[in-house]
């Protein structure tokens, strides 16, 4: 299984990025290959000028196309996900998330922004034709903080995140597995046939 993770935070160190890192480690421990991207990986000029032919944008689109799922994390600003993430999602092809299972993650200063996932981010993911968008995980400032040893998660947040990741993992496992070129032919030629 292969997953693309996408951080929508423009900050070097962010709580939404920390949730994404925690999720990557959880998935990797279960044998899922996770390829990470962040809005900071893309040239600002490419994002601002809508350069669909940017090598980094083309690579992201290709990796998403090959993946089974997408983890997307964003801070919430003024009741919506980050503008940099919106700009990057706008550069993906129209059906970029077809066949994808998507788990959205968000952080905000207060619980007042809890519905930002449902009313702001999920419609965009659906417009990109995501096959299945899971409930998602929202965390406010009281549930996360950076310490010397990394991001601290409140126990109830850690439990919700682990539950969401388990659902994500199960959804990935239910998906039909793609055959490598020539794999079906090799299986048919090597099969034992009886009549």
Give me the CATH number covering residue 86. Answer: 3.40.50.360
Question: Per the domain annotation, does 195 fall within a domain?
Answer: no
Q: pTM, whole model, 2 decimals?
A: 0.86
Contact yes or no for 46/57 (Cβ under 8 A): yes
What is the pLDDT confidence band of residue 191, given thresholds at 50, 70 and 90? Answer: confident
**171: domain range?**
2-190
Residues 6+ apart with CB under 8 A from 34: 2, 3, 4, 5, 24, 27, 28, 71
Mapped onto helix, strand or coil, the DSSP state of residue 11 is coil
Q: What is the pLDDT of residue 19?
A: 94
pLDDT at residue 192 is higher than 80: no
Q: What is the pLDDT of residue 138?
A: 94
Question: Per the domain annotation, does 9 fall within a domain?
Answer: yes
Question: Per the domain annotation, does 106 fall within a domain?
Answer: yes
Q: What is the pLDDT of residue 115?
A: 83
Question: Per the domain annotation, does 22 fall within a domain?
Answer: yes
CA distance 131 to 24: 21
Question: Per the domain annotation, does 92 fall within a domain?
Answer: yes
Beta bridge partners, 152, equal 145
Within a 10 A sphere around the Cβ of 45, how many other Cβ atoms? 9
Q: What is the pLDDT of residue 180?
A: 62
50-76: b (≥16 Cβ within 10 Å) or e? ebeebebbeebbebbbebbbbbbbbbb
DSSP letter for 155, please. Answer: H
Question: Per the domain annotation, does 117 fall within a domain?
Answer: yes
Tens-digit pLDDT profile for residues 131-179: 999 999 999 988 988 887 788 888 999 999 999 999 999 999 987 666 5
CA distance 191 to 133: 38
Mapped onto helix, strand or coil, the DSSP state of residue 145 is strand
Q: What is the pLDDT of residue 177?
A: 64
CA distance 148 to 140: 20
Q: What is the pLDDT of residue 130?
A: 93
Tally of domains in the chain: 1
Contact yes or no for 84/10 (Cβ under 8 A): yes
Tens-digit pLDDT profile for residues 96-140: 999 899 999 999 888 878 788 889 899 999 999 999 999 999 999
Tens-digit pLDDT profile for residues 22-81: 999 999 999 999 999 999 999 999 998 999 999 999 999 999 999 999 999 999 988 889
Mapped onto helix, strand or coil, the DSSP state of residue 153 is strand
């Amino acid at each position: 299984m292969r997953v693309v993770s996408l951080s929508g935070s423009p900050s070097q160190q962010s709580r939404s990025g920390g949730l994404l890192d925690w999720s990557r480690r959880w998935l990797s421990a279960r044998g899922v290959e996770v390829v990470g991207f962040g809005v900071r990986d893309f040239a600002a000029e490419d994002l601002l000028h809508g350069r669909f032919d940017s090598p980094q944008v083309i690579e992201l689109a290709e990796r998403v196309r090959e993946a089974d799922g997408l983890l997307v994390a964003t801070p919430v600003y003024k009741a919506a996900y980050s503008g940099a993430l919106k700009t990057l999602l706008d550069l993906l092809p129209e059906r970029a998330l077809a066949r994808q299972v998507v788990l959205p993650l968000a952080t905000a200063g207060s619980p007042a922004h809890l519905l930002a996932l449902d009313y702001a981010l999920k419609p965009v993911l659906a417009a990109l034709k995501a096959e299945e968008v899971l409930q998602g995980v929202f965390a406010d400032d009281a549930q996360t903080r950076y310490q010397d040893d990394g991001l601290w998660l409140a126990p109830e947040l850690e439990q919700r995140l682990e539950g969401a990741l388990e659902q994500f993992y199960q959804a990935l496992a239910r998906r039909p597995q793609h055959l490598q070129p020539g794999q079906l032919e090799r299986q048919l030629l090597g099969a034992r046939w009886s009549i």
